Every structure is written in structure tokens, then in C-alpha cells.
Structure 1
Amino acid sequence: MRTIVPIDPALVRVLEDSLNLGPMIDLTGRRMLNEEQVARFDGLSIQIQADEHPPPHFHVRGGGANVSFAIDDGHRLKGAKGLERYDRNIEKWWHDNRCVLILTWNRLRPADCPVGTVPVPPECQPPKEGTDA
């Protein structure tokens, strides 16, 4: 006969949070570098990587180029070259999807990430439970 032992929901949330941060590569809690594809359009791939350098940014990959753009204003990072003909497309996409970028960046941050999270503006906040969205 199996015995089911109840587990404190707070402990379950701690484990879920750890799993959501991605796999660990050692017992000190260092995590593997993982990335998430946020979108694809016009043959380009938009990705956010975990454990990144400042400032918070997303990558646009395509045609052999990998170009970084700031999450806060959508502009390419200084010195980022390539895909210049897509700048207006990327700027419009950023404008329409800024909340997705911010929330994805924040969700992928490992606990020891030196960059930290991006403040979530009110328009990007998920609706509170019990209220109409």
C-alpha cells in the first residue's frame, strides 16, 4: 500500500522556480546557458539568452548575423553590425512585443545573473486574479 505524504506548497514552488530557471551544471547552483526563441519573422530569429552581460538585450539572428538590441528602447547595441536593412522591421516588432521581451528576459534570469531583471511597466503586468483583463 502506498502512502502519500503531503508536501508544503511553498517547497513545491521553490522546486518549480528552480526548474523554470533551467538546468544546473554543478552543485554550486551555476546554471547552463540557455536561450529562448521569442519569435521568427522574415527569416530572422529573435532570441533571449540566460546569464547575459549588461545591458538587457535580445538577439536578432539571420543571414549569418547575430545582432543585439536593447530591451528598454529597441535600439541596436553600440558596435552591433549586420542586418541594418531590417532596423525598421525590428523596431516595429520591438514596439509591438516589448512586454514579451521584458517578461521573457526576467523569467530566464538565473539567480546569480549579474545583470538582473528589467522593471515591468504597468502595461506589461499580468492581470491580477479576480479582475477582468
Structure 2
Amino acid sequence: MSFKGTRWFYEDSPEELSSLDELCEHLHSLLSSSTVVDDDRDPDGPILIEMKHLVERLGSLKIEIYSDEHPPPHFHVITPNSKASFRLDNCELLEGNLPNKYKRKVEYWFYEKNAKKALISFWDKTRPTNCTVGKYAIPD
């Protein structure tokens, strides 16, 4: 069985590796990554799906979307000293705490740079088949 994916360490099949060192590196990469196996997405067999997807970096801020999430659809902001999550539809703070300067930067990015479209695209393409939330649905 061969796993397919988007990163180098699982594009290679273990059968194609030529040494024990390469096999160990391959296994270490798989075990230390934030991936899940999705058996239902591809008719050719299981695939690995990244759990965390970097959408954008804003200086020291990382904007991420996670694959297997809870409602409502949201994105995560990680700073060197804090974490927070924001609603995908209106950028409302859901959880966590960011210093005001970071929160304002996220809101500027969301509204002024029209980031909602990119966030929805990332959200929709990263949903595993068993995700309880599913693809983004525009609220009524």
C-alpha cells in the first residue's frame, strides 16, 4: 500500500527507499507530522491529509485552518505568545486572546485584504470526508 499526499515525505512509497536511514527518516517524518489518514476520499486508496494548513503569515502571525474541526467554521491565529480562533464568516473572536495590535492586524487582513474568500477556499478543500462541520455554508 502506498500513501499519496502533498508533502515530500509521503509522496515517496517506503518500497522505493533504498536504505534503512531513508526509511527511518520517512517514518519519523510521517509520525511527527500533523496528518490523518482518509480512507474514503480517493478511490485508489487511503491518502494522508494535513491537519494544519498555513493560509498566510502576517509578520510574526500565522493564520491556519485545521482539517478536522468543530462548528462554527473558523480559523486560527498563532503568535509567539498567544493563540486565538476567529469565525470564518465575520472574523469574530471565538476563543483565546490576542494583544489588540495583533487583533487589529487580523481584522485588517480579513476585511481590507478580502481574506474571507481565501479562508473559505482553504476550509472547503481541507475537509476530510468524516468532518462533522463539512464545507462552508453561507449563513441565512
TM-score, normalising length from structure 2? Answer: 0.61
Q: Which residue of 2 aligns with 1:92?
A: 108
Measured after TM superposition, the shift of residue 26 of structure 1 is 7.1
1:24 correspondence with 2:26: no
- Superposition misfits of 4+ residues, deviation over 3 angstroms: 29-33
Following superposition of structure 1 onto structure 2, how do residues 1-133 of structure 1 map, counting pairs within 5 Å? 23-24=36-37, 34-77=51-94, 79-95=95-111, 96-119=114-137
CA distance in structure 2 between the partners assigned to 1:62 and 1:75 by the alignment? 17
Measured after TM superposition, the shift of residue 45 of structure 1 is 0.4
CA distance 1:26–1:99, shift in 2 (3 Å): closer
Give the number of aligned pairs. Answer: 101
Q: Deviations over 1:78-104 (max 9, x none)?
A: x42233332221111112211000010
Structure with greater strand share of residues: 2
CA distance in structure 2 between the partners assigned to 1:25 and 1:109 by the alignment? 10
> Can you give the 5+ residue segments of structure 2 that lack an aligned partner in the other structure?
7-34, 41-45
> Can you give the 5+ residue segments of structure 1 that lack an aligned partner in the other structure?
1-17, 121-133
Which structure would you say has the larger RCO, counting Cα contacts within 8 Å and 6 or more residues apart?
A: 1
Measured after TM superposition, the shift of residue 42 of structure 1 is 2.4
Range 29-38 or range 63-72, more displaced: 29-38
Alpha-carbon contact 2:38-2:129 (below 8 Å) kept: no
Measured after TM superposition, the shift of residue 109 of structure 1 is 0.4
Alpha-carbon contact 2:5-2:49 (below 8 Å) kept: no
TM-score, normalising length from structure 1? Answer: 0.64
Aligned-residue Cα RMSD (Å) equals: 3.0
Q: Deviations over 1:51-87 (max 9, x none)?
A: 011111100001221110000001111x422333322
